[in-house]
Amino acid sequence: MRHARCVLVGVAVGLASLVPAAPAAQPELSATTRQTGLPRTPEQRAVVFEHATLHFKVLPQDRRIQGDATLRFRAGQELATMVLDLDRAYQVSAVQVDGVALARKDWANPEGRMRITLPRAVAAQQGFQVRVVYAGAPHVATRAPWDGGLVWSSAPGGEPWVASAIQGEGCDLLWPCIDHPQGEPLLVDEYITVPAPLVAPGNGVLVDMQEHDGWRTWHWRARSPDTYAVAINVGPYEQLKGEYHSRFGNAIALAYWHLKGQDAKAQDLFDELPRMLDFFERQIGPYPFGDEKVGIVQTPYLGMEHQTINAYGNDYRKDKYGYDWLMQHEFSHEWFGNQLTNADWDDMWLHEGFGSYMQPLYLQYLRGQMEYHAALLDQRAKLSNRVPIVSGKPQTEQSVYDSQHGPGLDIYYKGSLMLHMLRGLVGDQAFFKTIRLAVYGTDDPRPGQFQPRHLSTPDYIAIVNEVTGRDYGWFFQVFLYRAALPELLAERDASGLALRWKTPGEVPFPVPVEVRIGANSGRIVTVPMPGGRGHVDLPPGELYTLDPQSRLLREEPRFAVAVRDAAERKAAADRAAAEKGRAEKGQAERGQTEKAKAAAKP
């Protein structure tokens, strides 16, 4: 790999006047806009989204954008109307269909789903274009990336620093789109116009940059980006550039846009990329967007998996394992999220579970078994097991990520630990073959010979069954479609140890169990469990250890105690903080009262 440093930012003359104004009160999002992943309308299901040409003019001083979107579709059936998702807070000044301006009565957007009456019916297999010109103040993310919207900030030098983070609420916070995982366009041309000399990194490849009248327009082109991955990033960036020579024979451009003043840390982060790429290409397969780039941009919030321009705001912190977990996790989504995309939010564990499993696997690649198992143990302590991670019906993003009413973090860690167990059950060769088939649709992927894919949970189960030649539906029923973990019951009898799997709803669970007989390096026997039951002979009083190699994901009281204790400690800390706040408020109020009394004395 070769590195070259390229400084793209000029002198920040005059930018002080462009620092964002103080935030104003923003309108409440409609229920439609707040939810991403609502079922598509019949019109949205009936089209192929071929091309989006998106023009964004970013006005940092006013915290506004001016948008001009031309969207090309191909109808799968005759259509008289088209429906797009767009936040109703924007003021739409013009709508055109195939260049024909529509009268105001021909479109409406009362709840964030814009219904457009076409000038004439579009025949099946006919292409048509919709243009929407709009402007306004995008919804502000108050707690990005958990809350969606734009982040308006200032770089250390006072220059504007702007970034989008719209996964939680969806693409309609930024542009007129089909706000569903299966609504991604086949091609996007994105034009981002910003005050010069600011820089605007984007998805895909840079076509050109034009500068005129104090403005810069950056033109980026990307194929099949996730709808929420179409990103805006603006700042006084400097760029690190490099090239990675892939094990598959292609050269991949590397780029990191970062703020000035932390050059050594930025270089250190950038130097991690070749090793991460090598890991993923060895373990999974070719980087999916090698003809575009590996891109990272420093953002004023923690991070997000924007295709080929991942948002990074972890402040160069390494975790206890000595690597930048955030960059590695977001980078994993280029495979699990951008190349393989969930068919519905109900299948989001395909992004987060696989992405989370890549972290223990990366530590195994770097340093071996001890840190692999240590990272898995960290994940095990975070499970809640209150709600199944797959419901079997369409879901929105909010319903999946909600830790109070939905699976929440279990889509990350339970998904990861289930994959670890599946790997032990079917073996490495079959396990990694299932991943390649899921991600690429082929067991022998080559750069340029595969397309992005949408996958559902049943699709992945079918792949596992096909690869192994066995029906593993029972396995996924327990871990994906049930909340509680299976429990392994062990009871001594006259001749040894009787084992039984206890599962929610008594679902069959014939997973073999390893038992170590004797202490320390005693012999390990594998106990078959047909019908969920098995037996191993043990001498009276002999020590035994269930699952000595930690292959099984199962209910264990010690983790339940740890989770309960952690929750109690948090609740106690919250109560103490609330009590302290009330005491300080009371003291301040008493102080004000005493001052008032003193002032009132003659």
- Cα(43)–Cα(115) distance, integer angstroms: 10
Lowest-pLDDT range, 35-44, 48-57, 349-358, 535-544?
A: 535-544
Confidence tier at 562 by pLDDT (50, 70, 90): low
The answer to whether residue 228 sits within a structural domain is yes
Sign of the CA dihedral 520, 524, 527, 532?
A: positive
Tell which wins on pLDDT, 152 or 22.
152
CB 501 within 8 A of CB 488: yes
Tell which wins on pLDDT, 596 or 325.
325
On whether both 497 and 443 belong to a single domain, the answer is no
Question: Is 267 exposed, middle or buried, given 0-12, 13-18 or 19+ CB atoms closer than 10 A?
Answer: middle
Confidence tier at 561 by pLDDT (50, 70, 90): low
The answer to whether residue 76 sits within a structural domain is yes
* Mean pLDDT confidence for 95-120: 97
Of 329, 362, 389, which residue sits at a domain end?
A: 329
Lowest-pLDDT range, 7-21, 52-66, 245-259?
A: 7-21
The pLDDT value recorded for residue 583 is 64
Scored b (16 or more CB within 10 A) or e, 148-181 reads bbbbbbbbeeebbbbbbbbbbbbbbbbbbbbbbb
The pLDDT value recorded for residue 47 is 98
Model pLDDT for residues 258-279, shown as the tens digit of each residue: 999 989 999 999 999 999 999 9
On whether both 297 and 181 belong to a single domain, the answer is yes
Helix H, strand E, coil C: the string for 577-588 is HHHHHHHHHHHH
What contacts 563, CB < 8 A, 6 or more positions away?
381, 383, 384
On whether both 231 and 255 belong to a single domain, the answer is yes
CATH code at 459? 1.10.390.10
The answer to whether residue 289 sits within a structural domain is yes
Query: Residue 555 pLDDT more than 60?
Result: yes
Tally DSSP H helices, then E strands, for the chain.
13, 28
> If you average pLDDT over every residue of the chain, what do you get?
92
Tell which wins on pLDDT, 598 or 546.
546
Rounded to 10 deg, the angle between the 457-468 and 410-426 helix axes is 10
DSSP run (H or E) holding 316: none
The pLDDT value recorded for residue 37 is 96
The pLDDT value recorded for residue 572 is 67
- Cα(164)–Cα(350) distance, integer angstroms: 24
Lowest-pLDDT range, 247-251, 540-544, 547-551?
A: 540-544
On whether both 343 and 444 belong to a single domain, the answer is yes
The answer to whether residue 176 sits within a structural domain is yes
Of 329, 354, 373, which residue sits at a domain end?
A: 329
Confidence tier at 557 by pLDDT (50, 70, 90): confident
Of 454, 479, 504, which residue sits at a domain end?
A: 479
pTM for this model (two decimals): 0.89
Query: Residue 596 pLDDT more than 70?
Result: no
The answer to whether residue 31 sits within a structural domain is no
Helix then strand then coil, in percent of the chain rounded to 5, is: 30, 30, 40
Q: Is 594 annotated as a binding residue?
A: no
Model pLDDT for residues 402-455, shown as the tens digit of each residue: 988 999 999 999 999 999 999 999 999 999 999 999 999 999 999 999 999 999
Model pLDDT for residues 293-348, shown as the tens digit of each residue: 999 999 999 999 999 999 999 999 999 999 999 999 999 999 999 999 999 999 99
Strand 47-59 relative to strand 187-195, pairing: parallel
The answer to whether residue 221 sits within a structural domain is yes
Confidence tier at 23 by pLDDT (50, 70, 90): low
On whether both 148 and 231 belong to a single domain, the answer is yes
On whether both 68 and 91 belong to a single domain, the answer is yes
Q: Which residue has the tokens 């009160």?
A: 25
According to DSSP, residue 448 is labeled T
Q: Which residues are part of the catalytic machinery?
A: 330, 412
Confidence tier at 166 by pLDDT (50, 70, 90): very high
DSSP run (H or E) holding 333: none
The answer to whether residue 193 sits within a structural domain is yes
Q: Is 333 annotated as a binding residue?
A: yes
On whether both 131 and 156 belong to a single domain, the answer is yes
The pLDDT value recorded for residue 582 is 67
- Cα(429)–Cα(134) distance, integer angstroms: 52
On whether both 310 and 397 belong to a single domain, the answer is no
3-state secondary structure of 509: coil
Q: Is 511 left (phi over 0), alpha (psi -120 to 50) or beta?
A: beta
The pLDDT value recorded for residue 519 is 79
On whether both 288 and 353 belong to a single domain, the answer is no
The pLDDT value recorded for residue 11 is 31
Rounded to 10 deg, the angle between the 410-426 and 369-380 helix axes is 130
Phi/psi for 564 (5° steps) reads -65, -45
CATH code at 282? 2.60.40.1730
Domain that holds residue 315: 2-23+36-329
Please give the structure tokens belonging to residue 408.
């929440």
What contacts 173, CB < 8 A, 6 or more positions away?
33, 87, 138, 139, 148, 149, 150, 164, 166
On whether both 426 and 302 belong to a single domain, the answer is no
What is the count of structural domains for the chain?
A: 3
The answer to whether residue 589 sits within a structural domain is no
Model pLDDT for residues 472-518, shown as the tens digit of each residue: 999 999 999 999 999 999 999 999 999 999 998 888 999 999 999 99
Q: What percent of the chain has pLDDT over 90?
A: 85
Q: Is 351 annotated as a binding residue?
A: no
The pLDDT value recorded for residue 177 is 98
On whether both 284 and 422 belong to a single domain, the answer is no
* Mean pLDDT confidence for 521-539: 93
The pLDDT value recorded for residue 215 is 98
3-state secondary structure of 415: helix
Tell which wins on pLDDT, 24 or 174.
174
The pLDDT value recorded for residue 12 is 34
On whether both 57 and 106 belong to a single domain, the answer is yes
